[in-house]
C-alpha cells in the first residue's frame, strides 16, 4: 500500500510533526481511536469551553486533539 507524500520544505522539521506536539514542544496525549479523541475534545469543551478538533497524527499514527495548525 503506497501513501503519496507531498514534498515538504526541510527548513522546519518541526512543521512535519507539529500536530504531534504542543506549541511548548511537549508531545500531546495520544488517543488510540477517533472516538476516544472526540470524547476528550468533548470533555475539554464541557470543562473549558475550548473548541478542539480530533485528528490523526502523521507522526505517531494515533489521535490527538487540538486546534488546527494554520500558520508557521
Ligand atoms: Zn502524534
CA 55 to centroid of ligand 1, rounded, Å: 9
CA 28 to centroid of ligand 1, rounded, Å: 7
Residue 4 lies in a domain: no
Residue 19 lies in a domain: yes
| Residue 46: domain span | 14-66
CA 59 to centroid of ligand 1, rounded, Å: 5
Residue 38 lies in a domain: yes
Q: What is the pLDDT of residues 5-52, one digit of tens each?
A: 766 555 444 556 788 998 888 999 999 999 999 999 999 999 999 999
Residue 16 per-residue DSSP state: H
Residue 1 lies in a domain: no
The domain tally of the chain equals 1
For residue 71, the model assigns a pLDDT of 45
- Bridge partners, residue 27, by sequence: 21
Residue 51 lies in a domain: yes
Secondary structure in 3-state letters for 17-70: HHHHECCCCCECCCECCHHHHHHHHHHHHHHHCCCCEEEECCCCCCEEEECCCC
User: What's the whole-number mean pLDDT along residues 51-70?
Assistant: 87
Residue 2 lies in a domain: no
Residue 37 lies in a domain: yes
pTM listed for this prediction: 0.68
Amino acid at each position: 500500500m503506497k501513501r503519496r507524500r507531498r514534498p515538504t520544505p526541510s527548513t522546519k522539521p518541526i512543521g512535519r510533526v507539529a500536530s504531534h506536539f504542543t506549541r511548548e514542544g511537549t508531545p500531546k496525549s495520544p488517543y488510540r481511536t477517533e472516538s476516544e479523541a472526540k470524547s476528550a475534545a468533548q470533555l475539554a469543551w464541557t470543562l473549558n469551553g475550548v473548541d478542539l478538533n480530533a485528528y490523526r497524527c502523521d507522526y505517531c499514527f494515533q489521535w490527538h486533539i487540538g486546534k488546527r495548525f494554520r500558520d508557521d
